[in-house]
């Protein structure tokens, strides 16, 4: 499987790296984050046209579309420039991490920033701050773009790894909806990393068929099952059934995969009947 990576020093330089060991160190450079990507668009004219020309000639459509969305050239030209666009991404990132309503950007953060800048630096600074787009719709779009970019970078890291392993758990949320969480462990820069891969809503219930179908649909076109060498689950029958359980279905598409029972889950089961002291 090949991975298309972008050289952070040259926005127009795309290189296709294979996942063999000889080229893995180059592929580990990975994709720069979306916020840093915006800073490359200092001159949204001839530089951008040449950049898109290289994209169309070398990169596949998915990568090109993602980079064009990330650059938001129309917003750069019509708003406060690259700095305002980058500030919009940074504020949206903080709103998401703080788990605040998306309307807080336009209703509180922007007016407060304008008041501070007006008192400290004058009206010119306040007018410049006012050009930062922070409406609820814009913040929602920014967070979606950041999320897509983080997911794409994670997929590229896993694809560059010689193997990976997953940990799967299914449960129900407060609204009684079936949810599946998937964590992934992989090798990156000669070290083992562990990240959350995805959280998927199951259409009906948590049967082995539904669990595997949901995960297989997500993995299709993103990751190769043949490089999966481990799957960790709890001891539920839907997960570990010998004939049609989730792990059995995974082993059908990943012959080298080994299944394990989560140690923490076994410890919890063993401690249920223990005395409090």
Band (pLDDT 50/70/90 cuts) for residue 58 is: very low
| pLDDT tens figures, 169-216 | 887 777 878 888 999 999 998 899 999 999 888 876 678 888 888 899
The domain limits of the chain are 2-156, 161-270
pLDDT at 51 over 60: no
Question: C-alpha distances in angstroms, 22 versus 17, 25, 111, 206, 226?
Answer: 10, 7, 53, 42, 20
Average pLDDT over residues 49-57: 39
Q: Indicate the SS3 state at residue 57.
A: helix
Tell me the C-alpha distance between 234 and 169, whole Å. 7
pLDDT at 11 over 50: no
Query: pLDDT band at residue 78, thresholds of 50, 70 and 90?
Result: low
SS3 25: helix
Distance CA 204, CA 248 (A): 21
* Domain at 161-270: CATH code: 3.30.420
Query: Which backbone phi and psi does 265 adopt, to 5 degrees?
Result: -65, -40
- Give the mean pLDDT of 244-253: 89
**111-152: per-residue pLDDT in tens?**
999 999 999 999 999 999 999 999 999 999 999 999 999 999
Q: For 207-222, how does the pLDDT look when each residue is reduced to its tens digit (9 = 90+)?
A: 888 888 889 999 998 9
**Of residues 231 and 58, more confidently modeled:** 231
Q: Which long-range contacts does 222-226 make (Cβ < 8 Å, 24+ apart)?
A: 222/155, 223/155, 223/158, 223/159, 223/164, 224/1, 224/159, 225/250, 225/253, 225/254, 226/253, 226/254, 226/255, 226/256
pLDDT(155) > 90 = yes
SS (H, E, C) 73-100: HHHHHHCCHHHHHHHHHHHHHHHHHHCC
């Amino acid at each position: 499987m090949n991975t298309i990576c972008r050289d952070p020093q040259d926005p127009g330089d795309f290189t296709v790296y294979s996942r063999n060991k000889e080229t893995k160190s180059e592929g580990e450079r990975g994709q720069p984050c979306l916020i840093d990507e915006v800073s490359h668009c200092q001159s949204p004219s001839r530089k951008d046209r040449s950049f898109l020309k290289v994209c169309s000639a070398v990169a596949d459509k998915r990568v090109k579309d993602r980079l064009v969305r990330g650059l938001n050239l129309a917003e750069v030209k019509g708003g406060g420039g690259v700095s305002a666009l980058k500030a919009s991404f940074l504020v949206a990132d903080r709103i998401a991490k703080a788990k605040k309503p998306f309307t807080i950007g336009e209703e509180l953060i922007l007016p407060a920033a304008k008041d501070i800048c007006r008192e400290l630096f004058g009206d010119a600074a306040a007018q410049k701050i006012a050009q930062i787009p922070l409406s609820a719709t814009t913040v929602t779009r920014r967070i979606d773009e950041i999320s897509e970019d983080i997911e794409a970078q994670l997929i590229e890291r896993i694809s560059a790894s010689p193997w990976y392993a997953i940990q799967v758990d299914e449960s129900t949320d407060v609204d009684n909806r079936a949810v599946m969480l998937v964590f992934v462990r992989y090798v990156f820069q000669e070290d083992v990393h562990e990240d959350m891969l995805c959280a998927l809503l199951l259409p009906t219930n948590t049967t082995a068929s539904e669990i595997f179908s949901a995960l297989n649909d997500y993995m299709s076109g993103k990751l190769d099952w043949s490089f999966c060498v481990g799957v960790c689950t709890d001891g539920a029958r839907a997960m570990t059934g010998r004939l049609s359980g989730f792990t059995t279905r995974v082993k059908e598409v990943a012959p080298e995969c080994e299944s394990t029972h989560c140690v923490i889950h076994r410890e919890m089961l063993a401690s249920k009947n223990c005395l409090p002291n």
